[in-house]
Chains A and B, each alone.
Chain A
Amino acid sequence: MSEAAVRVFVVDDHPLVRSGVRSELEGRVEVVGTAGDVDEAVTAIAAARPDVVLVDVHMPGGGGAELIRRVLAAAGVEGAPPAPRFLALSVSDAAEDVISVIRAGARGYLTKTVSGAELAEAIGRVAAGDAVFSPRLAGFVLDAFAGALPARPVDPELDQLTARERDVLRLIARGYAYKEVARRLNLSIKTVETHVSSVLRKLQLSSRHELTRWATERRLV
């Protein structure tokens, strides 16, 4: 973050939110563009080549998950420039929203109540390739990966959390920042980031069939 400013693109169907996020990020990152719906965003992102895309979960035209899928698919073509990284930003705390956008490829999930400073920090983290877990997302993961393994796990490594990952997630769910987690567990921040990224990978790739069912059933606030 200290070198060149991170280039950020904001996708949200509410103009108020777009301008609010833009002004909050002023001076912390470089906002290179905004879009109000999925189609517009796909074209504009291809042109603006941002590092990080802040994406709203609920939007006309398929929502955040759809946007992520389309941009990632376009970037998968040979010769295409590398895809940006995605950070979901939403007012919804519904588990199915969170899980669906993470599984589509977002590297983190924040609610719109975060402060500008927190948001900028999270953007920097995502730009660096790490994952951003809010307390709530950590709680969701702990809940979703609770219980015994499925009887015939496709990939046991992907379908459960290690004890260390659990410790890290618990502290994040309790409101600890990564730095605080590291201090509490006597780990380096880098190690904490590695654990969190590994959890994100499991969340995205796990075949745990409970995951989706859990998310739809768990319509908690």
Chain B
Amino acid sequence: MRPAAGGGSLMVGSPGPWDHPGDGCGQAMTGSGPGPALRLTRRRDGRWVAGVCRGLAAALGVPVAALRAVVAVLALGNLPAVALLYALAWAFLPPDPALDAGAGEGLEGGAAGPAGSGAAGFTIAGRPADVLDALGVLAVVAGAVLLLGQFTAWLPAQVVAPAVLASVGAGVAWGWGGRAAGPGAGTGRRERLRPLFVAIGISLVVLGGVATLAAVGDLSSIGRSAAGAAVLVAGALLLFGPWMARLARSLTDERRQRIRSEERSEMAAHLHDGVLQTLALIQKRAGDDKAVRSLARRQERELRSWLYGARGAGAGPTESNGEAGATTVATLLRHELDDVEDHYGVRLDAVLVGDAPLDDAGRALVAAGREAALNAARHAGVDTVDVYLEVEPDRLSLFVRDRGRGFDPAAVPPDRRGLRDSIVARLRRHGGTAEVRSAPGEGAEVELSVPRVPAPAEGRPR
């Protein structure tokens, strides 16, 4: 008899590995016993409607055409029941995550595997295994109801609905009541709550059964059946609500915890690679003023860029923006200044206003600025040099200022090529200017400026 075969195939689909086979309700469902582990998904490849039959067939290892035929015959016999079941399966079955590349194989393999080994494979498409437990119960009860429906000819949906809800209740009690919602979830509270879940589930099943029987016994008493269904809906909501909230919370908690621990380990790695190493070096070279200052300054810079900088994010403690990697005037300038600091142990306090994409004029400006900073570091005899870059719509200006010993610009001997060639000539090639203001004892300021090639868009990052 075909309907029976249909019910049978559904019952094979119920998962075997109940956690608590001793529970009283277990008896009502033992049609399946320790059957093969079932990996149910909706398969969207080759589907007709929502892929339920396709997924079932793949999971059970039966030809999809046969299964469809069975379902069709069942539908002829009892359309509301089949439609309801199909809709439920549609809602509950997760879509197959990856249809290509061996995912289908995994499905078939999992279906054939023994129940005990299915534990890992039991989580499908990110859903907890518990959903499958519930589905198993659902399938068993639904199968039974369908069988019953065939014997009593036309079973109305009012009867099927309470029964299905009862099965959902049982699933909740057994599956979700009995398992941790996630690896991070505390088990203590769950353990205490479990008897409650089981009790509620059992009462749901009993209620559903009573409602079903009452409806079957007296088909005209639709009202009573509806009341039964309402009770069950309320019960199911009671069960589902907290569970879903808890699941959501445990998932967020878990994610947050993971992010935090990742951050912490990144922080630890950074502190170890950078700060601790530098502190060790500083202790070793405590007598060397200049080396200590330069070490401390370099470490400060790295830590700063790592903590606050957009550029340091994720990058290691090493120079994250090499000269080759610089794409804007400001990043290139920073790189060059860092380099000068490292070599001369002078602090270059840079204030950068605006930024612009790097072009030849910008490159020339930065190169000239580097030369000016080098001069200040070498000759001014001070610890700190101020650098100021301003990007204006029509030009780039760079100022390098120190409060050092100063000099008379007119008295610079002609063989001092640094200033003349590297700074003045370089900028002149790009239509720019260089001006040096200094007097002995007054410090020095080099003002560098190049016109900007009219860019299509304003260069300031906003």
Contact = CB atoms under 8 A, between A and B. Distances in A.
10 contacts: A94-B308, A135-B386, A136-B351, A146-B354, A146-B460, A214-B462, A217-B462, A219-B308, A220-B309, A221-B305
A97 to B, nearest CB: 9
Interface stretch (A40-48, A170-178, A188-196): A170-178
Given A136-B351, A146-B354, A147-B462, A221 B301 contact: yes
Interface string B256-292: 0000000000000000000000000000000000000
A92 B307 CA distance: 9
Given A147-B458, A220-B309, A221-B308, 10 more contacts: A135-B349, A136-B351, A142-B353, A146-B460, A147-B462, A170-B388, A173-B353, A176-B401, A219-B310, A221-B304
A213 to B, nearest CB: 8
Contact of B388 (A139, A146, A210, A219): A139
A26 interface: no
Interface of B: 301, 304-305, 308-310, 347, 349, 351-354, 386, 388, 390, 399, 401, 403, 445, 458, 460-462
A39 interface: no
Contacts of B462: 147, 210, 214, 217
B310 A143 contact: no
What are the nearest 3 A-B pairs in CB distance? A175-B386, A139-B351, A174-B388
B308 A92 contact: yes
A211 interface: no
B351 A138 contact: yes
A167 interface: no
Given A139-B388, A174-B399, A147 B460 contact: yes
Contact of A175 (B301, B304, B354, B401): B401
A128 to B, nearest CB: 24
Contacts of A219: 308-310
A221 B309 contact: yes
Among the interface residues A94, A139, A214, which one has the most CB atoms of the partner chain B within 10 A?
Answer: A139
A80 B301 CA distance: 44
Contacts of A210: 462
Nearest to B445: A174
Interface string A185-221: 0000000000000000000000000100010010111
A34 to B, nearest CB: 24
Interface in A124-148: 135-136, 138-139, 142-143, 146-147
B390 A142 contact: yes
B388 A220 contact: no
Contact of A139 (B305, B310, B352, B403): B352
A165 interface: no
A170 B401 CA distance: 13
A86 B353 CA distance: 26
A121 interface: no
A30 interface: no
A93 interface: yes
Contacts of A142: 353, 390
A220 B310 contact: yes
Interface string A5-48: 00000000000000000000000000000000000000000000
Among the interface residues B308, B309, B347, which one has the most CB atoms of the partner chain A within 10 A?
Answer: B308
Contacts of B354: 143, 146
B315 to A, nearest CB: 13
